[in-house]
């Protein structure tokens, strides 16, 4: 009877001092010992954001923390800092809007600028560093998408002549409100060559790069 009881398989759950661990084992038979296993707490932890307060920092504090994280994680020093914002009070789909921003410390690739100008203004645009400068002779190339450029500017006397290019240029269409139609092309060219473009999606979010970790 005793031998039969010794052969009977049983299961015991024993707690250890270390929390979250327990030993599951059966009778002392050889086959049972092979099946013994240690049940441990999960290696990873899952947290729900609604149970935790997200820390808030000022802009200066956030930049300093990014610099510290960059050093601790041994990442490359030239990392881009991107700002993500949401327009307040916009809880529905809205038409997207865009604009340009001149940063105090420009970075990245210099933009390629096309300028619609003629005569002395065309010469001034070339001297200011515009990559593509011309008048009506450029219209067909623009319409056929033969030219590559990031920004498009125009002198005041060319503003009316390029109106038919609206559907082709779309967001690049020169406009006085954006400062891309002006009588001071030299200043505008330098501004747009180093400017950053920002725009919103239909839900009011703006994501744009504002600088490098090492330079902020």
Residues 149 and 180 in one domain: yes
Kindly give, in sequence order, each residue whose CB lies less than 8 Å from that of residue 168, ignoring residues fewer than 6 positions away.
Answer: 142, 143, 145
**Which of 200, 183, 213 shows the shortest CA–CA distance to 87?**
200
Q: Do residues 76 and 147 both lie within one domain?
A: no
Sequence-ordered list of residues with C-beta below 8 angstroms from that of 173, at least 6 positions apart, any chain: 152, 162, 165, 166
Contact between residue 213 and residue 72 where contact means Cβ atoms under 8 Å apart: no
**pLDDT of amino acid 21:** 40
* Residues 141 and 73 grouped into a single domain: no
- Phi then psi dihedrals of residue 148, to 5 deg: -110, 125
Does residue 18 lie within any of the structural domains?
no
Q: Is the pLDDT of residue 64 over 80?
A: yes
Residue 163 lies in a domain: yes
Domain span at residue 72 reads 55-97+200-212
pLDDT exceeds 80 at position 213? yes
The answer to whether residue 27 is domain-embedded is: no
Instruction: Tell whether 123 and 144 lie within a shared domain.
Output: yes
Query: For 74, left (φ over 0), alpha (ψ -120 to 50), or beta?
Result: left
Number of domains in the chain: 2
Q: Is 187 in the same domain as 205?
A: no
Q: Are residue 144 and residue 76 in the same domain, yes or no?
A: no
Q: For 35-39, 83-87, 99-103, which range has the lowest pLDDT when averaged over its residues?
A: 35-39
CATH code at position 188 = 3.40.50.790
* Arithmetic mean of pLDDT over the chain: 78
Out of 23-37, 147-161, 186-200, pick the least confident. Answer: 23-37
Whether residue 138 is found in the same domain as residue 88: no
Residue-wise pLDDT for 164-206, tens only, equals 999 999 989 999 988 899 999 999 999 898 888 888 887 788 8
Average pLDDT in the 60-79 region? 76
DSSP assignment string, 64-109: HHHHHHHHHTT--S--EEEEEEE-TT--S-----EEEE--SS--SS
Confidence (pLDDT) at 108: 79
154 belongs to a structural domain: yes
Same-domain status, 119 and 189: yes
pLDDT at 56 > cutoff 90: no
Determine the average pLDDT of the residues in 94-120. Answer: 84
What tokens were used for 139? Answer: 């219209």
| 188 vs 43 pLDDT, higher one | 188
64 shares a domain with 120: no
**Domain shared by 123 and 177, yes or no:** yes
Is 152 inside a domain boundary? yes
**Amino acid 176: pLDDT:** 92
Q: Clarify whether residues 119 and 188 are in a common domain.
A: yes
Give the Cα separation of 157 and 89 in Å (integer).
Answer: 40
Please give the span between the terminal C-alpha atoms of the chain, in angstroms, as a whole number. Answer: 82
The answer to whether residue 118 sits within a structural domain is yes
Is residue 22 a part of any domain in this protein?
no
What is the radius of gyration, based on Cα positions, of the chain?
33
Confidence of residue 26 (pLDDT cuts 50, 70, 90): very low
SS3 percent helix, strand, coil of the chain, rounded to 5, is 30, 20, 45
DSSP string spanning 102-163? --SS--SSPPPEEEE--THHHHHHHHTT-SEEESGGGHHHHHTT----SEEEE-GGGTTTTG
Same domain, 155 and 174: yes
pLDDT at 40 over 70: no
Is 103 within a domain? no
């Amino acid at each position: 009877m005793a031998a039969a009881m010794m052969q009977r398989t049983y299961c015991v759950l024993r707690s250890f001092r270390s929390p979250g661990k327990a030993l599951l084992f059966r009778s002392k038979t050889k086959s049972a010992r092979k099946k013994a296993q240690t049940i441990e707490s999960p290696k990873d932890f899952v947290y729900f954001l609604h149970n935790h307060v997200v820390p808030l920092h000022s802009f200066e504090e956030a930049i300093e923390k990014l610099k510290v994280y960059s050093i601790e994680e041994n990442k490359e020093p030239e990392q881009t800092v991107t700002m993500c914002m949401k327009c307040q009070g916009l809880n529905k789909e809205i038409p997207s809007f865009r604009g340009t921003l001149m940063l105090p410390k420009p970075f990245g690739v210099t933009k390629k600028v096309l300028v619609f100008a003629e005569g002395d203004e065309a010469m001034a645009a070339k001297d200011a560093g515009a990559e593509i400068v011309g008048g009506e002779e450029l219209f067909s190339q623009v319409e056929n998408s033969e030219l590559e450029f990031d920004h498009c500017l125009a002198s005041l006397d060319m503003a009316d002549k390029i109106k038919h290019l609206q559907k082709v240029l779309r967001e690049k269409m020169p406009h006085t409100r954006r400062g891309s139609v002006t009588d001071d092309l030299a200043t505008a060219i330098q501004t747009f060559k180093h400017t950053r473009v920002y725009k919103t999606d239909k839900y009011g979010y703006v994501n744009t790069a504002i600088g490098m970790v090492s330079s902020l």
